[in-house]
Amino acid sequence: MGPHPAVATVRHAVRRALADLAAGDLVLVACSGGADSLALAAAAGFTAPRAGLRAGLLTVDHGLQAGSAARALDVVRLAPELKLEPAEVLTVRVGTAGGPEAAARDARYAALGEAARRHGAAAVLLGHTLDDQAETVVLGLARGSGPRSLAAMSAVAGVYRRPLLEIGRATTRAACAALGLTPWDDPHNDDPAFSRVRVRHRVLPVLERELGPGIAGALARTAALCRDDADALDAWASRAHAEARAAAADPGGSGREPYAGAEGGSGREPYARAEGGSGREGGAGAAGGEALAVAVLADLPPAVRGRVLRLAAFAAGVPAGSLGAAHVREADRLVTEWRGQRGVNLPGGVTLYRRYGRLVFAGNG
């Protein structure tokens, strides 16, 4: 007699996720003790040795609740039963940047990444499920985010792997029950102060009731489609970014361009730059930033051009996460609605101006 169907489903997902690893590789499971990560840990402990792999367990103590250290030790004590070695508690200090959810996530991933490097792990398995994926899509929609945000979580991201993205929470709970494992239910998962909890308990049930069952699966499929599109656009943008930089650095390139001072106008583009700009005609190394050829940018679809502008801004020193849609829109106007306007001030002390057929990102150094 085979395993319970839920157990078999989770094991199959883990087997697929580990199929490309080499014999002897170490896989670490990030386990909070909740149903999703507990089912994942049990499946990894069963599957990894049969694939010639080693499997261990990591649990993170965020220190945000009374008794968190004791619960983390309880999770580690399960490791021998689940055939997981090594097993370790990672104690972190959660900051405040970005709000409590983001701060806890940043601390958790920093600790997991450091542990993976220290142990020489080939992969860290995360217990995100199809339901988590659906919630992430809804949150992205609410923020008005683009397709990269709607793509939600990827099955593989660097050392991290998410084998359960096509499996719902009902299955992981059933797997734990079939294996005699008792999950820990984090009270934060029912706290409406967190936006994800409100989506889980209020928004998605309304969608299911009003639109019919299967909403979580449909949203997860939407994420997969958005991810394919976003990956393709990002690859195109990376090539276009390199092309635009090369064209801007070529002294025999675009040269001076017509100044579109009015619709259909001609003439020469005036010298125009943002306050504090360097005043130099920029190549790829202008003023601590870089430069892009306007002619290359102008031929790109808006979705690709916006990505190129973001790549260039980050390369010039704009802090990650600080560049908003309004910044990109104003930068884009220097390409598509050029009327001799002054430049754009970007976060991190970076200024962007247009001069002689080039967009110059000037750093503050």
Which residues are documented as binding site for ATP?
Answer: 32-37
Encoded tokens for 207 = 């969608």
Phi, psi of 123, rounded to the nearest 5 degrees: -155, 150
Tell me 295's DSSP state. H
How far apart (Å, rounded) are the C-alpha atoms in residues 65 and 246? 53
| Separation in Å, CA 304 to CA 228, 289, 291, 298 | 15, 20, 17, 11
Chain centre distance of CA 41:
23
Neighbours of 337 (CB within 10 A): 10
Chain centre distance of CA 154:
8
Residues 6+ apart with CB under 8 A from 266: 258, 259
DSSP lists the bridge partners of residue 268 as 258
DSSP lists the bridge partners of residue 258 as 268
Q: Output the known binding site.
A: 32-37
Residues 6+ apart with CB under 8 A from 204: 134, 135, 138, 215, 216
Q: Which residue has the tokens 């706290």?
A: 191
Helix (H, G, I), strand (E, B) or coil at 323: coil
User: Which has the closest alpha carbon to 48: 16, 81, 70?
Assistant: 16
How far apart (Å, rounded) are the C-alpha atoms in residues 150 and 320? 19
How far apart (Å, rounded) are the C-alpha atoms in residues 197 and 186? 12
